[in-house]
């Protein structure tokens, strides 16, 4: 554990070096966050003429609202599914590309392309493909006897946003996994092969543990991605519907605050969201990072 | 220095010196009209700018209605508000409650000394935007009302008379079944705006209340009551037709999928705003379109009441220099002139908001040449408006409409009955009304 630490002999220098970052954090994160905390205790008309301090009413109302509790569980399902799906698929692709010696650059380039697409465009792309009226997939599925209609069926809508959100994130994960795989020393796997370990055994006992820092990093990034960055995708595909089936926490913050003009409730929701992410990150570093070998 | 260069620079200097004399007052106008409607709107601003040289109206597209309203409110809080903002009818309650933010149009016109006669406007339109003292607070601009579009070719293929549209819901069901069973089209009906058309207008047409206190006109203490027998029956029907394949849901709010279903001839009948006319004419090229008023239940009411409006009005926001408001008033006068209004109405399908604009259209022979183009105005002006059909006014109606859409989706998915869905919508809606009341009193 000691090796992870760097000791500075000068007491002030580390703080000085941190100063620019601290200033940025203070202005662009801490200050707005405090503003959010402040408005989460208030009720205000949209134009901001009358502000009333109402203590915890925004919070108590939220937890009494079945839709908010529903949104919490939807977000959990969404975040876990997106993380697992996008990480597994990208690991599979990365391993496959890593095995191809000559053409792997071509594959890498092709696989990274989706990352350059803006979230809203991704959303519209999948919206088109899966659209029950004009989409190609529902048309083919109808031929197979499957009724596909995410406009009405909440589970199907959830599947749709999970696929759309994962598809975009696969490229990002893929890049890191390829880089991680290429840093696994060939000598280790060769030695294991000579000892008679098959490809699966070699992968799970040598490659995967050596990938653990990458995997851990991606785990945090992916959960944060699913919880925050998927706003554009949800907005363009389902807008949180049908009947709130895909209304994740971050989308609800937007819908209540910007469309519904309910600033107090929206602020309370963002504060809760912030606490959830802080907690998740803390748990990850506290318990999962111990199992990571650098 | 050559002669030309000299004369050029002299000319330039003269122009620079003269500039202040031509200084124009800029009037910013935020709107939510995109695509074709946006171009038509910009043409109106251009027309005003060309008609005089004191003021320049600068239109800016700000996204959807909801986004435009949000943007204007955010801008107002930052003291960067536009002089004019287009607000949809759903935002009326919110804007009316914000007395400090709004420069009411009746006052604005009086201050600027512009001639302004509210009685020249269509009564259902002005009634919607007046306060309890009868003063009009915002300038009517693009008002619409839902109508029924139908595919005459499909009707003919199904063995129906293409010139006869279903007048009642019972007829619609019979005809719809014939269309689907004969294979003329896979679906009979799709509708945009489930809340506005199949709930709010349904209630008005049958003279049933949507909320207490004259549908909210009477004050902030109003409550929703749209879970009555009629609404439950209608939602039940829609659910049954959806299960049978007669009705296809096109999505919440404006229903992004509903129009394509009609254009691709998948659904034979399409209910949408009269302002959808421009889009229908552009997109429905392979078949002939019929226009008809909304159907009604003839066992509930003998003569259906008028339908209620949608669309938007223009609000002047406070905090600008006095000369800006003079310009706004002049622009509003220009905007409501019969020529401008008639042109806008005929190009888009929005209602002619003044009687003069409607009469001008009649003189021009527009309605005779374009059958069906007066359906909307006839429907909204028929009979005497009752307390239940003059309109609705509720705070935070945007949120309420989203809730009604959600409950309708729950109904379609089979997780709630029509009664349960409407009860739940009323209960959740009332909560929002109480929030609005608490924040505005």
Cα–Cα distance, B353 to B55 (Å, whole number): 24
How much is the average pLDDT of B391-419? 91
pLDDT per residue over A17-49, tens digit each? 899 999 999 999 999 999 999 999 998 888 888
pLDDT tens digits, residue range B383-392?
Answer: 888 889 988 8
What pLDDT is attached to residue A107? 83
d(CA B251, CA B1): 70
Q: Pick from A183-192, B13-22, B267-276 the range whose average pLDDT is largest.
A: B267-276
What distance in Å separates the CA atoms of residue B237 and residue B48, rounded to the nearest whole number?
Answer: 49
How many angstroms separate the most distant Cα atoms in chain A? 77
CB atoms A151 and B97 under 8 Å: no
For B406, the closest of A50, A153, A243 (CB atoms) is A243
Q: Which residues contact A14 (CB under 8 A, 6 or more apart)?
A: A8
Q: Is the pLDDT of residue A277 over 90?
A: no
How far, in Å, CA of B30 to CA of B70, rounded?
Answer: 11
Answer yes or no: do A47 and B440 touch at CB < 8 A: no
Pick the residue from chain B with its C-alpha nearest to A257.
B70
Contacts B257 to A, Cβ<8 Å? 131-134, 151
Residue B129 has pLDDT above 90, yes or no: no
Question: Quick one: average pLDDT of B275-282?
Answer: 86
Partners of residue B70 in chain A, C-beta under 8 Å: 258-259, 261
pLDDT band, residue B41 (cuts 50/70/90):
very high
Q: Do the Cβ atoms of B98 and A49 come within 8 Å?
A: yes
User: What is the rounded average pLDDT for all residues in chain B?
Assistant: 90
**Predicted pLDDT at B270:** 96
Q: What is the pLDDT of residue B123?
A: 80
For residues A156 and A244, what is the distance between their CA atoms, to the nearest angstrom? Answer: 13
> How many other CB atoms are found less than 10 A from the CB of residue B120?
14
φ and ψ at residue B224, rounded to 5 degrees? -80, 145
pLDDT exceeds 60 at position B249: yes
- Looking at CA atoms only, how far is residue A199 from chain B in angstroms? 47
Task: With beta carbons under 8 A apart, name residues in chain B contacting A68.
Answer: none
Mean pLDDT over A185-200 rounds to 88
Nearest CB among B399, B413, B438 relative to A154 is that of B413
Q: Is A46–B73 a contact, with Cβ atoms under 8 angstroms apart? A: yes
Task: Examine the pLDDT at B23 and tell me if it is beyond 80.
Answer: no
B257 touches chain A (CB under 8 A): yes
Is B100 close to A260, i.e. CB distance below 8 A? no
Q: Residue A191: which residues within 8 A CB-CB, separation 6 or more?
A: none
**Confidence (pLDDT) at A2:** 52
Residues of chain A neighbouring B66 (CB-CB closer than 8 A)? 259
Chain A environment of B67 (Cβ under 8 Å)? 258
**Confidence check: pLDDT of A162 > 70:** yes
Residue B304 and residue B281 in contact, taking contact as beta carbons nearer than 8 Å: no
Of A214, A229, A204, give the one whose Cα is nearest residue A176: A214
d(CA B295, nearest CA chain A) in Å: 25
User: Most distant CA pair in chain B: distance in Å?
Assistant: 90
How confident is the model over B286-324, as pLDDT tens digits? 999 999 999 999 999 999 999 998 889 999 999 999 999
Judge: A48–B415 Cβ closer than 8 Å, yes or no.
no
Q: Which residue of A has its CA nearest to B72?
A: A47
At A198, the pLDDT band (50, 70, 90 cuts) reads confident
In angstroms, the separation between the Cα of residue B347 and the nearest Cα of chain A is 28
Decide if B439 and A132 are in contact by the 8 Å CB cutoff.
no
Q: Residues of chain A whose C-beta is under 8 A from some C-beta in B?
A: 43-50, 52, 131-134, 151-154, 239, 241-244, 255-256, 258-262
Residue A161: pLDDT band with limits 50, 70, 90: very high
- Nearest-Cα distance to chain B for A140, in Å, is 17
B63 interface with A at CB cutoff 8 Å: no
Contact B264 A134 (CB under 8 A): yes
Can you state the angle between helices B322-335 and B338-348, rounded to 10 degrees? 60
Taking an 8 Å cut-off on Cβ atoms, the answer to whether A47 and B98 are in contact is yes
Q: What's the predicted TM-score (pTM) here?
A: 0.85
Digit-coded pLDDT (tens) for B186-195: 999 999 999 9
Q: Strand runs (DSSP E) across B95-228, as ranges?
A: 102-103, 139-144, 146-151, 187-191
- A48 interaction partners in chain B (CB closer than 8 Å): 77
Instruction: Read off the pLDDT of residues A63-85 as tens digits, 9 standing for 90 and up.
Output: 988 889 889 999 999 999 999 99
Neighboring chain B residues of A255 at a CB cutoff of 8 Å: 402
- Calculate how close chain B gets to A276, using CA atoms only, in Å: 26
To test the contact with chain A by mutation, choose from B87, B251, B256, B283 the residue with the greatest count of A C-beta atoms within 10 A, namely B251
Q: What is the pLDDT of residue B345?
A: 92
- Give A247's contacts (C-beta < 8 A, 6+ positions apart): A67, A70, A71, A74, A240, A241, A255
Closest in B73, B261, B406 to A261, CB measured: B73
Report the pLDDT value the prediction gives residue B21, as an integer from 0 to 100. 46
- Mind listing the pLDDT tens digit for each residue in A115-129? 888 878 888 888 888
Closest chain A residue by Cα to residue B318: A47
Task: Concatenate the DSSP letters of all residues of B289-352 into one string.
Answer: EEEEPPPB-TTT-SS------EEEEEEEESSS-HHHHHHHHHHHHHHTSHHHHHHHHHHH-PPP
Question: What pLDDT was estimated at residue A1?
Answer: 46
| Residue B22 confidence (pLDDT) | 54
> Are residues B52 and B330 in contact, defined by beta-carbon separation less than 8 angstroms?
yes
In the structure, what pLDDT confidence band is assigned to residue A3 with cuts at 50, 70 and 90? low
Mean pLDDT within B35-62 = 92
- DSSP H helices in B150-192: 152-157, 169-181
What is the distance in angstroms between the Cα of B398 and the nearest Cα belonging to chain A?
6
Picking from B336, B337, B344, B333, the residue whose alpha carbon sits closest to that of residue B366 is B344
What would the pLDDT profile of A246-274 be if each residue is shown by its tens digit? 999 999 998 888 877 788 899 999 999 88
- Inform me whether the C-beta atom of residue B416 falls under 8 Å from chain A C-beta atoms: no
Out of A45, A152, A239, closest to residue B412 by CB: A152
Q: Do A152 and B439 touch (CB under 8 A)?
A: no
Kindly tell me if the per-residue pLDDT of A136 is higher than 80: yes
User: Taking the mean position of all CA atoms in its chain, how far away is CA A192?
Assistant: 36
Question: What is the arithmetic mean of pLDDT over B206-224?
Answer: 93
| Calpha distance B192→B269 (Å, rounded) | 11
The answer to whether B77 faces chain A, any CB pair under 8 Å, is yes
Residue predicted with more confidence, A98 or B36: A98
């Amino acid at each position: 554990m000691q090796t992870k630490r760097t000791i500075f002999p000068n007491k002030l220098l580390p703080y000085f070096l941190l100063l620019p970052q601290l200033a940025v954090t203070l202005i662009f994160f801490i200050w707005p966050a405090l503003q959010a905390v402040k408005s989460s205790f208030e009720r205000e008309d949209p134009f901001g003429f009358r502000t009333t301090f109402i203590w915890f009413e925004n919070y108590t109302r939220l937890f009494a609202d079945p839709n908010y509790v529903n949104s919490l569980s939807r977000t959990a399902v969404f975040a876990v599914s997106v993380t697992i799906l996008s990480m597994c698929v990208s690991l599979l692709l990365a391993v496959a590309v890593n095995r191809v010696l000559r053409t792997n650059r071509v594959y890498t380039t092709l696989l990274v392309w989706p990352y350059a697409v803006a979230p809203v465009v991704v959303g519209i792309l999948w919206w088109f493909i899966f659209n029950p009226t004009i989409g190609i997939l529902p048309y083919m599925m109808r031929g197979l006897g499957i009724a596909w209609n995410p406009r009405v069926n909440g589970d199907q809508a959830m599947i749709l946003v999970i696929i759309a959100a994962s598809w975009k994130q696969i490229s990002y994960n893929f890049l890191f996994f390829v880089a991680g795989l290429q840093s696994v020393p060939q000598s280790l796997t060769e030695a294991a092969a000579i000892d008679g370990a098959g490809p699966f055994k070699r992968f799970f006992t040598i490659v995967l543990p050596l990938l653990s820092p990458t995997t851990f990093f991606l785990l945090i990034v992916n959960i944060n991605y699913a919880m925050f960055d998927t706003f554009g995708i949800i907005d363009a595909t389902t807008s949180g519907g049908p009947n709130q089936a895909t209304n994740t926490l971050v989308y609800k913050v937007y819908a209540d605050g910007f469309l519904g003009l309910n600033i107090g409730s929206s602020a309370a929701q963002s504060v809760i969201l912030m606490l959830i992410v802080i907690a998740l990150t803390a748990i990850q570093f506290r318990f999962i990072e111990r199992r990571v070998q650098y | 220095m050559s002669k030309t260069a000299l004369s050029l620079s002299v000319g330039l200097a003269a122009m620079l010196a003269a500039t202040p004399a031509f200084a124009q007052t800029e009037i910013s106008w935020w709107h939510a009209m995109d695509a074709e409607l946006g171009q038509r709107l910009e043409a109106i601003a251009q027309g005003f700018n060309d008609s005089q040289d004191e003021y320049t109206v600068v239109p800016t597209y700000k996204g959807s209605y909801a986004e435009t309203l949000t943007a204007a409110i955010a801008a107002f809080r930052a003291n960067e508000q536009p002089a004019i903002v287009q607000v949809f009818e759903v935002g009326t309650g919110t804007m009316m409650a914000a007395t400090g933010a709004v420069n009411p149009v009746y006052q604005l016109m009086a201050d600027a000394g512009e001639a302004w006669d509210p009685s020249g406007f269509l009564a259902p339109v002005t009634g919607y935007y007046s306060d309890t003292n009868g003063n009009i607070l915002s300038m009517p601009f693009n008002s619409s009302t839902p109508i029924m579009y139908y595919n005459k070719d499909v009707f003919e293929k199904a063995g129906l008379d293409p010139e006869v549209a279903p007048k009642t819901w019972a007829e619609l069901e019979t005809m719809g079944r014939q269309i689907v069973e004969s294979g003329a089209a896979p679906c009979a009906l799709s509708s945009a705006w489930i809340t506005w058309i199949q709930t709010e207008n349904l209630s008005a047409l049958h003279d049933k209340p949507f909320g207490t206190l004259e549908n909210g006109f009477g004050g902030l203490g109003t409550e929703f009551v749209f879970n009555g027998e009629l609404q439950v029956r209608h939602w039940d029907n829609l659910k049954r037709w959806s299960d049978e394949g007669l009705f296809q849901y096109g999505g919440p709010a404006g229903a992004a999928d509903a129009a394509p279903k009609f254009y691709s001839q998948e659904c034979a009948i399409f209910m949408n705003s009269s302002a959808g006319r421009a889009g229908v004419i552009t997109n429905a090229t392979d078949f002939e379109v019929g226009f008809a008023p909304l159907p009604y239940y003839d066992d509930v009411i003998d003569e259906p009441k008028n339908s209620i409006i949608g669309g938007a009005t223009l609000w002047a926001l406070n905090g600008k220099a006095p000369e800006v408001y003079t310009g706004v008033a002049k622009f509003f006068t220009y905007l409501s002139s019969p020529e401008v209004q008639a042109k806008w109405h005929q190009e888009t399908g929005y209602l002619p908001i003044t009687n003069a604009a409607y009469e001008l259209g009649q003189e021009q022979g527009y309605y005779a040449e374009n059958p069906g183009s007066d359906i909307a105005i006839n429907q909204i002006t028929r009979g005497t408006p009752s307390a239940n059909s003059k309109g609705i006014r509720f705070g935070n109606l945007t949120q309420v409409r989203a809730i009604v859409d959600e409950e309708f989706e729950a109904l379609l998915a089979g997780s709630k009955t029509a009664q349960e869905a409407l009860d739940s919508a009323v209960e959740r809606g009332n909560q929002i009304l109480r929030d609005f009341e608490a924040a505005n009193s």
